[in-house]
């Protein structure tokens, strides 16, 4: 048996709802929707290395809006809106680090499964759509949130260019938008 880490209660994190979420054994009753909305609104994309605060919640809202404009069904749009819900529990790990941590993906998958169960989301069915929109949004964010440079990101030339205005919402505003979009898609908040 290993010694517990200072400040930890087993493998759990305390959520703003007061619940404890077990990262090693997540269950659908260990969190509320407000835990996801609030956390994503307070997490800055790109490890905070963009020009100004830009939340994961705003990113998800933009992705869902593109899916709506394209006419995708409600179930698909819900998968798109919640595609980064796991980050409410594990943070927004920058992609190069994610690739270097093979167990990270397994942890995310376990958490995604309980999010799917809790909110009736079929992430597997809409995986291709989510990936496509997420990649397109990433490149739109690169162009809209960073000072231009001469570096080409992997896959940048393989996606369509989205014309998105990034608002850089405050955490409160990002949370409000995320909740409103979730309610429109049938989530009881």
**What is residue 52's DSSP assignment?**
S
State residue 80's pLDDT score.
Answer: 98
Distances (CA, A) of 32 to 2, 72, 142: 30, 26, 32
State residue 34's pLDDT score.
Answer: 98
State residue 3's pLDDT score.
Answer: 63
Mean per-residue pLDDT pooled into runs of 10, the chain (189 residues): 76 96 97 98 95 96 98 98 98 91 93 98 98 97 93 93 96 98 94
State residue 111's pLDDT score.
Answer: 98
State residue 1's pLDDT score.
Answer: 45
DSSP sequence for 145-171: HS---SPPPTTGGGSPPP--------H
Residues 6+ apart with CB under 8 A from 116: 122, 123
State residue 189's pLDDT score.
Answer: 81
Measured CA to CA, the distance from residue 9 to residue 141 in angstroms comes to 37
The answer to whether domain 12-184 has CATH 1.10.3210.10 is yes
Whether 23 and 99 have beta carbons less than 8 Å apart is answered as: no
Q: 127-145 vs 74-81: helix axis angle to the nearest 10?
A: 50
- The structural domains of the chain, with segments of one domain joined by +, span 12-184
List the helix and strand counts (H, then E) for the chain: 8, 2
Task: Provide φ and ψ at 57, rounded to 5°.
Answer: -60, -45
């Amino acid at each position: 048996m290993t010694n517990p880490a200072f400040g930890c209660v087993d493998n759990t994190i305390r959520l703003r709802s007061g619940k404890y979420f077990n990262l090693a054994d997540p269950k659908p009753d260990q969190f509320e929707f407000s835990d996801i909305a609030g956390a994503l609104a307070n997490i800055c994309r790109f490890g905070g290395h963009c020009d100004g605060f830009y939340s994961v919640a705003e990113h998800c809202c933009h992705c869902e809006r593109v899916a709506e404009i394209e006419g995708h069904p409600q179930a698909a749009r819900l998968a798109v809106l919640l595609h980064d819900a796991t980050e409410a529990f594990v943070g927004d790990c920058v992609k190069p680090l994610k690739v270097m941590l093979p167990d990270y993906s397994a942890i995310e998958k376990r958490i995604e499964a309980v999010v799917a169960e809790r909110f009736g989301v079929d992430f597997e069915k809409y995986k291709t759509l989510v990936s496509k929109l997420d990649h397109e949004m990433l490149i739109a964010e690169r162009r809209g949130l960073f000072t231009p440079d001469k570096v080409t990101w992997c896959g940048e030339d393989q996606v369509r260019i989205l014309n998105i205005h990034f608002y850089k919402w405050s955490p409160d505003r990002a949370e409000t938008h995320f909740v409103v979009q979730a309610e429109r898609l049938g989530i009881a908040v």
